[in-house]
Structure 1
Amino acid sequence: MALLEVEDGKHVYYEHHAGPGRPVVLVHGWAVNAQCWDTTVPALLAAGHAVVTLDHRACGRSDKDFTDTSVAAVASDVVALVERLDLRKPVISGWSLGGAVAVEAATRLGANLAGLVLTGGATPRYTAAEGWPHGGTTADVEGVLGALAADRPTTFRAVAGAVCAKPVGADVVEAMWLQFLQSGPRADATLRDLAAIDQRTLLPALTCPVLLLSGREDAFVPFDAVAASKELYADARLVEFGGCGHAPFLEDGETYRAELLSFLAGLPA
């Protein structure tokens, strides 16, 4: 089992799948883990890409007792993995909260970044603010966290059931619920941090190509928020998934993988 020591003897779990092509680092969403990419990784490997996945701090197979589980801390782990594995010009791909992590990591990687992929990315803001009318409120987030404190299994089951708008089958929803249950209570602080951060000043400075993938019926990161964020990047393309919710890679996997592979194939060497 591959572990990256990142804080006071605590470790983050990761996988490094070798391949001759451009490396792709997959960053999962809040409180799930790298298993969410189980239908994405094989397609990337089949196309020749090297693939790196990780479990966020307090999620999955990573240690649960981290002191710092902020978005910035998780992003620092992504950067540390890129450096440890000596990845040249990787693409960082983030889903949901992982989108905010990916943006933060991208700003730190600078010139050593080929592209950015955001699937229902919770960036530049997850909550509404002055000049950004998209998303819910910090009170909404605290409501979810309060429900988790009272009944973690039932609350996470409801969240898992709301991720997809298209039917994906009971087994897929169950698998997501089980991933949620592998997270520790310190993961809650990552969501609380997401509700407060603002990345609007970061997006214009990203000069690499950006692929935005968004479900029209996304109940967590509204499609209109993703569409508005497109205008903040120097070079971004938006792909709309009609009828899909927050996880188009599960709801319309064939189209999702085709768009992802096409984006990767079009990047400069």
Structure 2
Amino acid sequence: MSTVINKTGAEEVALNLVDYGTGQPIILIHGWPLSHKSWEQQIPALVAAGYRVIAYDRRGFGDSSRPWDGYDYDTLASDLHAIIEELQLSDVILAGFSMGGGEVVRYITNYGEANIAKVVLISSIIPLVKQHTDNPDGVPSEKLEEIAQALQDDRVGFLKGFHEQFYGVDKDASAVSQGQLDYDFSIAAHAAPQATVKAADAWANTDFRAECAGISTPTLIIHGKKDATVPFETAAQQAHQLIANSLLVTYDDAAHGLNVTHAARLNEDLIGFLKT
């Protein structure tokens, strides 16, 4: 493991990352409330396919620094930019899972597409999670407020059950093992409390719809039809409509955590897209 320092104002944030393989670089950006370890089943496949795979812990999560502030998407995108600059990467592929899709889109908005070869959005929150009159399929505000309150009142208690819906265990007990649930809980529970709360506010309330229209990079969107965490209709379906040069691949039987439950299929679809 190594670290990249991003200095924002007077504050320096150390971003923990792994860097494996050679070839065209692909940066993997994890979802909330986990760490780079959530890419465990994708990293070996991508390295074997000939890519340089970089996966990092978002600030406040995993082994990265835990500043009090800086969990808005502009700052998170600046962390991604610092990694690309420090490692002197070019012709980069950006892959964002769930919340990580926001860093991808905001990076392109703030830093442009000149150095980005392809984009992948997996179970992504893009373009908008929250329900509005013009986003009727979104998650109702009261539900998001319940999550925010639960994180304030009993963060660890909330996280203990979070991944059951995440993987669809509430509908299919065999979706993942108890070991996987315990592993994810351990990672999530050890994230910084303030990061967990403030990052949730970012993914719940940021509207990327206007930004999506500015993306011309070839984009693969993969999403499960049974995703109860980030609904297909308000996320992938809309993202595909807004991002002109996008390909939508739907997993009819997948919940949110398809990087684990459908790892083999995801790896095949991902590598197939990257090779075209």
Q: TM-score, normalised by structure 2?
A: 0.92
Measured in 1, the distance between the counterparts of 2:227 and 2:54 equals 26
Deviations 1:15-45 (A, max 9, x none): 222312x211000011210000000000000
Which residue in the other structure is 1:232 paired with?
242
Q: Which runs of 4+ in 1 moved over 4 A?
A: none
Amino acid at match of 1:186: Q
The alignment partner of 2:205 has SS state of coil
Measure, in 2, the Cα distance between the counterparts of 1:256 and 1:219: 19
2:162 counterpart letter in structure 1: V
1:120 offset after TM fit, Å? 1.0
Q: Which residue of 1 aligns with 2:95?
A: 93
Q: 1:60 aligns with which of 59, 62, 69?
A: 62
8 Å contact 2:22–2:50 — kept in the other structure?
yes
- Cα separation, 2, equivalents of 1:211 and 1:10: 30
1:44 aligns with 46
Match of 1:179 among 173, 187, 190: 187
1:71 pairs with 2:93? no
- Measure the CA separation in 1 of the matches of 2:107 and 2:12: 22
Checking the alignment, whether the CA contact within 8 Å between 1:55 and 1:61 is kept in structure 2 is yes
Asked if the contact 1:212–1:238 (Cα under 8 Å) also holds between the matched residues in 2, the reply is yes
Structure 2: distance between partners of 1:140 and 1:183:
22
**1:142-184 deviation per Cα after TM superposition (whole angstroms, max 9, x unaligned):** 3112212222222101112111125111111111111111211
Counterpart of 1:28, as a letter, is H
TM-score using structure 1 length:
0.94
Of 119, 122, 125 in structure 1, the residue corresponding to residue 125 of structure 2 is 122
Which residue number corresponds to residue 19 of structure 1? 22
Deviation at 1:208, TM superposition (A): 0.8
1:194 and 2:203 are equivalent in the alignment: yes
Q: What secondary structure is seen at the aligned counterpart in 1 of 2:132?
A: coil
Cα deviation per residue 1:213-258 (whole Å; 9 max; x = unaligned)? Answer: 1011001111112112211111111111121100111111111100
| Cα gap change, 1:109 to 1:13, in 2 (>3 Å) | farther
Matched residue, 1:248:
258
Please provide the CA RMSD for this pair.
1.4
Matched, 1:264 2:266: no
CA displacement, residues 186-210 of structure 1 (integer Å, 9 cap, x when unaligned): 2211111222211111111111111
Q: Residues of 2 paired with 1:101 and 1:122: CA distance?
A: 11
User: 1:69–1:189: 8 Å Cα contact kept in structure 2?
Assistant: yes
Flag structure 2 segments of 5+ consecutive residues without an equivalent.
none
Matched letter for residue 230 of structure 1: H
Matched-pair contact (CA < 8 Å) for 2:94–2:120: yes
Q: Counterpart in 1 of 2:138?
A: 135
- The reply on whether 1:2 has 2:2 as its aligned counterpart is yes
CA distance, structure 2, for counterparts of residue 179 and residue 109 of structure 1: 32
Separation in 1, partners of 2:213, 2:238: 13
Number of residue pairs the alignment of both structures matches: 265
Q: Sequence identity, in percent?
A: 25
d(CA) in 1 for partners of 2:68, 2:28 = 21
